[in-house]
Structure 1
Amino acid sequence: MTIKTPSDARWLAAAARLALRGRPASSPNPAVGCLIVRNGRVVGRGWTQPGGRPHAEAMALEMAGDAATGADVYATLEPCAHQSPRGPACTDRLIEARPARVVIGQVDPDPRTAGQGIERLHAAGIEAVLLGCPHSAASLAGYLTRAAFGRPHVTLKLAMSLDGCIALADGTSQWITGEAARAHVHSRRALADAILVGGGTWRADSPRLDVRLPGLEDRSPARWVLTSQPIESAQTIAAPADIAAIPAQYLYVEGGAQAAASFLEADLVERLEIYRAPILIGDGLRALGGLNLAELAHAHGRWQPVETRQLGADTFEAFARTR
């Protein structure tokens, strides 16, 4: 009999954190995390490698060796069940290793697997537990959004003063937030496949839109601009609805005000990240353009707080879109 215990949820949450090591370099494959646990001790760990191979389960099984037999396997996504010229299916590797259980955070929406991995594990006499872990879903947000809606998962970042300004009235904006907050922004950029700003911001500021953290410089995302005009050193889309054409799982939108408002008005933002500096600007440039709300009631019930932290003098808050 399969028993779902609090430790199952904790191990899956740990596997989800491990999966972040694969993002976004695993794209177009999902960034999956896998832990193999025997007698309460981790004997194998893995995450999807750059380019999508090896898969997380293959890496963890290689580390565990014979200790995987009779152990518990925690995988954020259902193990793949389809054959590939790049390597055997993870389901086959698990069946060969003979763990006692495989605890799974999310069913794979890929029709080549989509429940077949679980079925094959059951048929081989291995318990397969689908836990429905929210941490797993969050760690796979880009992959799941792309599968469900055919577009990237969008995070909108705003850095503002206490009174909601992103610059002085003359456009001066360096710097609203402090060094710790700016470093945190670079760590968030490093988790995205693509980054986008509006055409006005591109022309006014010539932003680099790269990652400038030691050791993560190679994680700089592809640069995109929201504009109808041609851009020489970045790719463009004419409207937020065109993001399906961006070959990415995670799109990080940095503004400015009109670009941010256009993504919010199109209801394409899944995560909102706000950096708030303890300063007052007064008659400055606002963080958002108009959202065309018909009534105030339409603004309520859309955003759920999911994270907050202090970054030096600045405050970071993250909100998830409720649907």
Structure 2
Amino acid sequence: MQQLHTLTSAMRRALQLAANGPAEGVNPRVGCVILNPAGDTIAEGWHRGAGTCHAEVDALAQLEPDAARGATAVVTLEPCNHTGRTGPCAQALIDAGIGRVVYAVADPGRHSAGGGDRLRTAGVDVTGGLLADEARAFLADWLVAARLGRPFVTVKWASSLDGRAAAQDGSSRWITGPAARLDVHERRAGADAILVGTGTVLSDDPVLTARASDGTLLARQPRPVVVGRRPVPAGAAVHGHPLSPWFLSDHDVPALLRSLHERGIRRVFVEGGPTLASAFVRAGLVDEYLVYLAPTLLGGDRLALGDIGVPGIDAQRRLQVDDLLRLGDDILLVAHPADSPDTFRTTDTARSAPAAQI
């Protein structure tokens, strides 16, 4: 039986392989490493997108018949247990004669979960939870989307220390400095879609691209989504985005997220303004907060958030701070709802043996 450090090294390699897969779409990024009984790597694979071989099958395809018998498959996500465009990976591993499967995170999907149980029933030794925290962080958006049927939602705002997103005359460029603005653009590039309300489009005329410090476009761009019923002029800057903008009039936040999920969006970056951001907070549909704080005071009533459904102190929305970053003179506070049952932050115990038992 492989030593823990061998399996851990293989899982880290599997996570590296998983990163080769597409970051957008409905499928997770998964990597797989197959070890022989001596602990040597004999095959590697990853999932390249919808309709292609899953990571386990991709790795098995590199082996001669019977070469996988008695081997160990190290996979970042529990092997799937359903038939879609491809067959169940759990059965493929069984058919190949794999003797042991070690995975990081259990599959939360209603239709795809249960691969671990299927493997155990077939006599395969199965262990879950190895490097689970790292895998959850890597798969955070997909895990939320798979469990809840909606995209992972990040709400971002920049404000003065007294919580104002703009001066009294409505001007807001720039509250934060260059380092904070560059950080925003890099995080935009990690999202599938960037959402703003029509009010922001009409007042600020943003193009909603992700840009480098020199103004050039980053390689990956979020889909611009404008939410609201007011018409957007044909000459608005958002029409110059390299991806055609989507215009959605639905003010029902859960319905809006379901619609985006059905379009293959699994990570949403809510950029503004206060009306749209407040609607997401009020609906309890925020997974991550990015709050950029500038060391300045503006006063007035141009608050970063409006009514979020807190009539009294007992109803306050408590957050748990995940990180504090200094960006030039500004501070970025990264947080999530304190009462959030986030899949990627909870312990993977439902169908997993403790990692210490590996």
Scaled by the length of structure 1, the TM-score of the pair is 0.80
Equivalent in the alignment of 2:293 = 276
Distance change in 2, residues 1:14/1:287 (3 Å): farther
Write the mapping of 1:35-74 to structure 2, written as runs, cut at 5 A: 35=33, 47-51=46-50, 53-59=52-58, 72-74=72-74
1:304 aligns with 2:320: yes
Question: Which residues of 2 match residues 1-323 of structure 1 at below 5 A?
Answer: 19=18, 22=21, 24-25=23-24, 27-35=25-33, 47-51=46-50, 53-59=52-58, 72-85=72-85, 87-95=86-94, 101-115=100-114, 117-131=115-129, 133-213=132-212, 217-231=218-232, 233-239=245-251, 240-243=253-256, 244-246=258-260, 247=263, 248-283=265-300, 285-299=302-316, 302-321=318-337, 322-323=339-340
> Which residue type is aligned with residue 203 of structure 2?
A
CA distance in 2, matches of 1:177, 1:47: 40
The CA deviation string for residues 134-168 of structure 1, in whole angstroms up to 9 with x for no partner, is 44334333333333333222110112222222222
| Partner Cα distance (1:164, 1:10) in 2 | 45
Q: CA deviation at 1:270?
A: 1.2
Q: Which of 139-148 and 9-18 deviates more?
A: 9-18
Report how far residue 200 of structure 1 moved: 0.6
Whole-angstrom distance in 2 between the partners of 1:168 and 1:96: 65
Give CA deviations for 1:291-320 in whole Å, capped at 9, x if unaligned. Answer: 2312112215x3222223233332222112
Which residue identity does 1:320 align to in structure 2? H
Superposed displacement of residue 260, structure 1: 0.9
Q: Secondary structure at the match of 2:320?
A: strand
Change (3 A) 1:294 1:45: farther
CA apart distance, 1:21: 5.2
Q: In 1, distance between residues paired with 2:18 and 2:268?
A: 18
Q: 1:238 offset after TM fit, Å? A: 2.5
The count of corresponding residues between Structure 1 and Structure 2 is: 318
What is the Cα deviation at residue 95 of structure 1? 4.0
* One-letter amino acid matched to 2:271: E
Instruction: Note the aligned Cα RMSD (angstroms).
Output: 3.7
Cα distance in structure 2, aligned partners of 1:41 and 1:310? 43
Per-residue deviation, 1:269: 0.7
Bigger mean CA offset, 103-112 vs 151-160: 103-112
Letter in 1 for 2:104: G
Larger Rg: 2
Identity %: 37
Structure 1 stretches lacking a partner, 5+ long: none
Write the distance in 2 (CA, Å) between the matches of 1:182 and 1:67. Answer: 52
The alpha carbon displacement at 1:242 in A equals 2.4
The 8 Å contact of residues 230 and 236 in structure 1, kept in 2 or not, is answered as no
Pick closer, same or farther for the CA change 1:168–1:215 going to 2, 3 Å: closer
Instruction: Tell me by how many angstroms 1:64 deviates.
Output: 8.9
Q: Which runs of 5+ in 2 are unaligned?
A: 235-244, 341-358
Q: Tell me the distance in 2 between the aligned counterparts of 1:100 and 1:292.
A: 53
Query: 1:13 and 1:283, CA in 2 relative to 1: closer, same or farther beyond 3 A?
Result: farther
Q: Alpha carbons of 1:298 and 1:63: their partners in 2 closer, same or farther (altered >3 Å)?
A: farther
Q: Find the aligned partners of 1:100 and 1:310 in 2 and give their Cα distance.
A: 49
- Alpha-carbon separation, structure 1, partners of 2:63 and 2:320: 39
When residues 258 and 59 of structure 1 are mapped into structure 2, their CA distance, relative to the original with a 3 A threshold, is: same
